[in-house]
Amino acid sequence: MKIEVLYFSGCPNHVPAVERVREALRDEGLRGEIVEIEVADPETAQRTKFLGSPSIRVDGLDIEPDARSATEFGMMCRTYADGCCQSGLPSREIIRAALREARPVIPDPGRSGLHRSFIFGGSLIAAVAASLCCILPILAAVSGAGAIAAGALFDRWRPYLLGLTGLLLAGGFLLAWRDRRKACAADSLCATKPIGRWNRVALRLLATGVVALAAFPYYSGAVARLVVREPGPPPALTSAGLSTVAFQVPDMDCPACAVALSAAFRKMQGVMQAELDVDSRKAVVTFNPNAQNIATLKKVITDAGFHIAAEPRSL
């Protein structure tokens, strides 16, 4: 906290004003830097917006709220309202009120803080749940646990979970904004100071994380290709010795599912190629009929938790 005492040489109230500031700091249990600034001429008075001697500013704002919009600057003595009279010294109450106004606001760790924590935590959980439809297939493929389509249930709830995520995130920011507004009265010293840098960074990082999680299905295919290990290229065979079959898989609805199911096909002996298209919900598998058959390929799909809409079609 920085306190400026502006005066001109010879002002009888300069030194008493500084003493009153020190007393007010002690009474409020605060520490502050007191800077005495001598205003030597009318030009300096205009430049420093000098309202008369002595003038006291706390963190750049005059201790009298009504004087903060004044524009009458010059080399003159200043008076302050003191009850029903005017005095050349500001009262101790005015100085203490300005110090309390500028006192750093400590975030309330009470109920409001808990509400914000629950709301932001809830938005994070809802975002994760909304993306489980594509997170679970990757986990299943990496762990080898099967049931690649385990997240299909969450896909049906995804629109509602995304809506809940947005509402909770907006509610958290609204609470943070409301608490900040409530903590600082209008035109106060506190109101002139923006929310702490680290608080802003934390809120932005949280919001970015929630949005990234909610949008995970849209880039889940790229993530799946990075983490799901696929076997190397199969030995070359002439197309005359291969068969190709197409399966319609209606619940293969995210890129991660397609990558994981493709990896499951490629691990099978005799499977040469597996092309899965999420948009058409189709799996096209090329295999060596001497080493593999359609029934086993169908079982890979059903064991992964997917359904086949119609009988497979040979191509």
Please write the tens of the pLDDT for every residue from 20-31.
999 999 999 888
Q: Is residue 223 pLDDT above 90, yes or no?
A: no
For the segment 197-216, the average pLDDT, to the nearest whole number, is 75
Residue 308 corresponds to which tokens in the numbers above? 């086949």
Could you report the per-residue pLDDT of 241-277, keeping only the tens digit for each? Answer: 789 999 998 888 788 888 888 888 888 888 888 888 8
Residue 10 pLDDT class (50, 70, 90 cuts): very high
Between vectors from CA 202 to CA 196 and to CA 208, what angle results, nearest 5°? 135
End-to-end CA distance of the chain: 79
Q: Is residue 180 pLDDT above 60, yes or no?
A: yes
Residue 111 pLDDT class (50, 70, 90 cuts): low
For the segment 143-156, the average pLDDT, to the nearest whole number, is 58
**151 Cβ contact list (under 8 Å, min separation 6):** 132, 133, 134, 135, 136, 137, 254, 257
247 to 152, 187, 277, 281, 301: CA distances (angstroms): 18, 68, 11, 9, 9
Residue 58 corresponds to which tokens in the numbers above? 């706390």
Instruction: Give me the pLDDT at residue 80, please.
Output: 93
Instruction: Give me the pLDDT at residue 7, please.
Output: 97
Which of 59-68, 196-205, 219-228 has the largest mean confidence? 59-68
Q: How many residues does the chain have?
A: 315
Instruction: Give the SS3 label for residue 279.
Output: coil
Instruction: Give me the pLDDT at residue 95, please.
Output: 94
Instruction: Give me the pLDDT at residue 112, please.
Output: 55
Q: Is residue 230 pLDDT above 70, yes or no?
A: no
Instruction: Give me the pLDDT at residue 262, please.
Output: 86
Residue 126 pLDDT class (50, 70, 90 cuts): confident
**116 Cβ contact list (under 8 Å, min separation 6):** 172, 175, 176, 179
Nearest CA to 105 out of 171, 23, 202, 194 is that of 194
Task: Tell me the pTM.
Answer: 0.45
Residue 96 pLDDT class (50, 70, 90 cuts): very high
Amino acid, single-letter form, for residue 11: C
Residue 118 corresponds to which tokens in the numbers above? 């629950």
Instruction: Give me the pLDDT at residue 56, please.
Output: 96
Between vectors from CA 215 to CA 209 and to CA 220, what angle results, nearest 5°? 105
Residue of higher predicted confidence among 313 and 111: 313
Instruction: Give me the pLDDT at residue 184, please.
Output: 55
Instruction: Give me the pLDDT at residue 189, please.
Output: 47
Could you report the per-residue pLDDT of 31-75, keeping only the tens digit for each? Answer: 889 999 999 999 999 999 999 999 999 999 999 999 999 999 999
Instruction: Give me the pLDDT at residue 310, please.
Output: 75
**225 Cβ contact list (under 8 Å, min separation 6):** 259
Mean predicted lDDT score pLDDT of the chain:
80
